[in-house]
Amino acid sequence: MKNHKVPALLAALAVAASVSASDPVIVETDAYRWAGDTIFQNEFKAWAVSPYELRSTYKARPGYYMPVDQVWKRKNDLSAYPKLTSDNLLHEAVFNMALDEMVNAVEPDTTLRTGKEWSGVWTRDVSYSIILSMAYMQPEASMISLMKKVNPSGQIIQDTGSGGAWPISTDRMVWTLAAWEIYKVTGDRKWLETVYPIVARSLEKDEKTVMSGRGLVKGETSFIDWREQSYPRWMQTVDISQSEAMGTNVMYAAALRAAGDMAQLLGKKKEADKYFAKSSALAANIDKTFWMPDKGYYGMYTYGRDNMILNPRAETLGEALAILYDIAPAEHQKSISENSPQTPFGAPVFYPQISDMPNYHNNALWPWVASYWTLAQAKAGNERGVLEGIGSVYRPAALFCTNKENLNLDNGDIYTELNSSNMLWCLAGNIALTTRVLFGIHFEKDGLVIEPFVPEALAGKRTLEAFPYRGARLNITVEGYGNRVAELIVNGKSLYPEKGKVIPAKMLEKGGDIIVRLDNQPIPAMKLNTVPNVKAPLTPVVWLANNSALDGAGVPVNNQLEWNPIEYIAKYIVLKDGRPVAETRETSYAAVTPGEWQVIGVSDSGVQSFASEPRSNRPAMVVEFPDETAAMKSAELSYQPDAALSGFTGAGFVELDRSSAPLEVSVDIPEAGVYSLSLRYANGNGPVNTENKAAVRTLTLDGNKAGTLVMPHRGRGNWNDWGMSNQISLPLEKGRHTIGILYLPEDENMNIDTNHALIDHLRIERAE
């Protein structure tokens, strides 16, 4: 029997043999090398056979469930999309592969599929993809997809997520940035009139529910929605709902500004001014809260309970968005560019890694995040950062012959908890590296700015034919290298190459030719903080023990702080109420005064662990509710109990749903001070990691709104798993007060129909 595969195999081997290791090196790190039209990594390589074919010799981890394709050939007609001509064949092939997979991602209903393994439209996935490139590559599908993510209340949908979605996850406002990007690309005023009310309603609701007392957005870090992958194990979803994530806040500040731009174009000056002012105030609070002068970049999130501390990890998407949307002050943008940690395989999702957690968000590079980071590096003027950023996306695209979801930072492999080929936001980022960096296309509300960033290693001539813009087609040619335009010619007319100069949309309404000649001068050198892929120490497990001390009434006091020893630790930092009070090499500390206590481990190289779970030895009282019951009756009950109801205190519990009358209880406060209030509750309406039935209620003090109570899922049907809601700190005068719990319109969750929980008792703890 003849083997018909032999000629094709021999041809491929002949092409591989012809690849020369002496081709000019474009970028090289300790992990891989891109030379000419070939990527080299250890014994593996990938190369472009033609603009429409890639081949690879890569072999994935043996036994891993997801095989690696070793060839990509164009499957779809790409004639309707821009055609790239470049001096580098690999560049052409990787770009065309992204276009080919983009066609695969358009579903029959003209929505954008999230990935080969991920069906449907997801708010954050599609929005980040639209911002990168789908707004101009797939404007119709982008519009339809965004409108799929609007609920019956006319608000943006927060997809299913940790503990029941919103308000634990709160990054839905990225939808606003995507909608604004579509307007800038299309100039469609009807679109603007459609989306602006949706944005305004969503912002109004969030302002009432997810803003912290210091003017920051609470909730999970944007897109990093596997809680155990980026938060300490002790943090429950309710703790995440009260944390403040840098990346989510940066995105939110940009969304507020975009809302202002929308309002301004629609003639709503007062509303525009309001949004601009809120954006500026949020940006100032971000800088005040997250900036770390000793590191030169922003911290990842605040966390704790009554006393928030900053997680000093770098989080790449947030750092990138802070540069791209000018949320970071100008003097900080260069610092972020030069100091954010970079591994040999590229920009990590965050850094350092968590040592006892598998690879997904942890210990991973996501190519679309790397694309945003590369765009930010171009804006900051970091040539080395741009080269390594492009390389970090092209390496896996070529070696795996598809746009994968995420990569293991230890070895660059696809061995992670989950992965997908044909990933929408990754192929969108791939396209953006060409259009937004090497061609420098930036959309403004009234035209285009074209300012390419071409590292000297990629010097040459490249053309993008039939680029879509507001119904017209543009042929754009970029010549030379550098990041300064020496000459800009639009339809034969030479324009003064002033930085930031907008080419009016009216000038381009019939399409035509744009020629950009760069100045061929070296880009001013900037550093890059390339570091080994470090894992942080394990998190200490801490408890309070009785050391025989007695309070004034002769009651034993738990005031001996103890914790388990951790290997390879240089020292421990003891925190009280969020502030360091001691450093020790011991595994105990005398916590002789009331407070919230935590411990951080520090390695020999100065890398910190997460802080331990807060342990409180503050005075507290428990208040039971009147008319408690031990049976559930609500129509909003989604899942029956897994077992007979148990675990509550007192006579039972109070069941709350949307139709419940306001619940009130009187409390006697023995002395004036600041007190922390929380509810012991159960919510078995969904699993810990997904769905959208988080229970939300408003807390009132003496008839006045005092805060929002969040009660996330604790397990499907698991009504015997009782936990604490978030803590609300309030100043209370001595004497009797009325505490109320009620359902207001702003408490409507993403499910809308089910907003249900059991309340066991109210806990009041003296915080100050």
3-class DSSP string for 450-519: ECCCECHHHCEEEEEEEEEECCEEEEEEEEECECCEEEEEECCEEECCCCCCCEEHHHHCCCEEEEEEEC
What CA–CA distances, in Å, run from 205 to 300, 597, 747? 25, 34, 8
The predicted model gives 16-30 an average pLDDT of: 74
531 inside domain: no
749 inside domain: yes
**Confidence tier at 6 by pLDDT (50, 70, 90):** very low
% pLDDT > 90, the chain: 92
**pTM listed for this prediction:** 0.95
Nearest in space to 503 (alpha carbons), one of 461, 466, 465, 472: 472
Same domain, 490 and 561: no
424 within 8 A of 93, measured Cβ to Cβ: no
Mean pLDDT of all residues in the chain?
A: 94
Quote the CA–CA distance of 329 and 323 in Å, as a whole number: 8
335 inside domain: no
Residue identified by tokens 């000038």 is 507
Same domain, 165 and 220: yes
Same domain, 645 and 731: yes
Same domain, 596 and 645: no
Which residue stretches of 266-382 are H helix?
269-290, 316-324, 330-339, 367-380
**Confidence tier at 64 by pLDDT (50, 70, 90):** confident
Quote the CA–CA distance of 316 and 161 in Å, as a whole number: 21
Same domain, 501 and 635: no
516 within 8 A of 488, measured Cβ to Cβ: yes
Nearest in space to 31 (alpha carbons), one of 18, 17, 41: 41
Quote the CA–CA distance of 577 and 594 in Å, as a whole number: 9
Same domain, 577 and 659: no
For 217, residues 6+ apart whose C-beta sits below 8 A from its C-beta are: 170, 206, 210, 211, 244, 245, 248, 249, 252, 282
**Confidence tier at 1 by pLDDT (50, 70, 90):** very low
What CA–CA distances, in Å, run from 332 to 215, 298, 577? 21, 9, 29
Residue 542: its pLDDT value, please?
Answer: 97
Residue 15: its pLDDT value, please?
Answer: 43
**Strand (E) or helix (H) holding 237:** helix 237-242
535 inside domain: no
The predicted model gives 500-515 an average pLDDT of: 95
pLDDT digits (tens, 9 = 90+) for 81-127: 999 999 999 999 999 999 999 999 999 999 999 999 999 999 999 99
The predicted model gives 422-438 an average pLDDT of: 98
Same domain, 489 and 637: no
Chain centroid to CA 351: how far?
A: 14
Same domain, 709 and 573: no
pLDDT digits (tens, 9 = 90+) for 526-567: 999 999 999 999 999 999 997 655 555 554 557 899 999 998
DSSP class of 149 = T
Nearest in space to 395 (alpha carbons), one of 46, 64, 30, 116: 46
pLDDT digits (tens, 9 = 90+) for 604-651: 999 999 999 999 999 999 999 999 999 999 999 999 998 999 999 999
Same domain, 244 and 134: yes
CATH code of the domain in which 458 resides: 2.60.420
Residue 161: its pLDDT value, please?
Answer: 84
For 431, residues 6+ apart whose C-beta sits below 8 A from its C-beta are: 95, 98, 99, 102, 132, 133, 137
Residue 496: its pLDDT value, please?
Answer: 80
pLDDT digits (tens, 9 = 90+) for 152-201: 999 999 998 899 999 999 999 999 999 999 999 999 999 999 999 999 99
User: What is the tally of structural domains in the chain?
Assistant: 4
Same domain, 740 and 632: yes
Residue 557: its pLDDT value, please?
Answer: 58
**Confidence tier at 347 by pLDDT (50, 70, 90):** very high
Of 310, 343, 370, the position where a domain reaches its end is 310
**Could you list the residue range(s) of the whole structural domain that residue 457 is in?**
450-518
Chain centroid to CA 244: how far?
A: 12
CATH code of the domain in which 212 resides: 1.50.10.10
Residue 592: its pLDDT value, please?
Answer: 87
Residue 574: its pLDDT value, please?
Answer: 98
Same domain, 746 and 628: yes
Same domain, 605 and 675: no
77 within 8 A of 99, measured Cβ to Cβ: no
Beta bridge partners of 451: none
CATH code of the domain in which 751 resides: 2.60.120.260
**Confidence tier at 768 by pLDDT (50, 70, 90):** confident
Query: Would you call 14 exposed, middle or buried from its count of C-beta atoms within 10 A (0-12, 13-18, 19+)?
Result: exposed
Residue 23: its pLDDT value, please?
Answer: 87
